[in-house]
Amino acid sequence: MTRVKRSVHARKKRRATLALAKGYRGDASRHYRKAKETVLRADRYAYRDRRARKRDFRALWITRINAAARQHGLSYSQFIRGAKLAGIDLDRKVLADIAVRDAETFRRFADRAREALAAG
């Protein structure tokens, strides 16, 4: 059986790992073993935080909607319930953007939500 020589692929793999570790501090950017550990940990954080980002943004949107709704005499839950009853089919991302950028439109939404709560 012929002998398999690994040096080309091993070097290629190590070079790729060190390239991913570029910019890391100290040994983590220069020594393969430390770089490999750091890159693996960074990948775990990246995977976890891609999911956490979605939660963080939803919480931010809810906070912004709540603040704007309270300026018009409604709590967040009252506003969302009234908006659903009034047929306002906008998601929280869009509602939060409207609350920040266009106060007059949000006031009209709040008025419609309040009327729908009173009626239903």
Domain boundaries, the chain: 7-119
pLDDT of residue 6 exceeding 90: no
C-alpha separations of 95 from 79, 83, 84, 88, 101 in Å: 11, 10, 12, 10, 10
For residue 4, what pLDDT is reported?
Answer: 86
For residue 87, what pLDDT is reported?
Answer: 97
| H-assigned helices in the chain | 7-20, 32-71, 76-86, 92-101, 103-119
Are 100 and 60 within 8 A, CB to CB?
Answer: no
pLDDT band at 109 (very low <50, low <70, confident <90, very high): very high
Task: For residues 12 and 5, give the distance between their C-alpha atoms in angstroms, rounded to a whole number.
Answer: 13
Q: Considering the entire predicted model, what is its pTM?
A: 0.82
Task: For residues 42 and 54, give the distance between their C-alpha atoms in angstroms, rounded to a whole number.
Answer: 19
Q: Which residues, including other chains, have CB under 8 Å from residue 60's CB and lie 6 or more apart?
A: 96
Q: What is the tens place of the pLDDT at every residue in 22-58?
A: 999 999 999 999 999 999 999 999 999 999 999 999 9
For residue 81, what pLDDT is reported?
Answer: 97
Percent of the chain with pLDDT over 70: 100
pLDDT band at 1 (very low <50, low <70, confident <90, very high): confident
For 7-119, give the CATH class: mainly alpha
pLDDT of residue 120 exceeding 80: no
Q: Which residues, including other chains, have CB under 8 Å from residue 119's CB and lie 6 or more apart?
A: 85
Determine the 3-state secondary structure of 14 from DSSP: helix
Task: For residues 62 and 16, give the distance between their C-alpha atoms in angstroms, rounded to a whole number.
Answer: 42
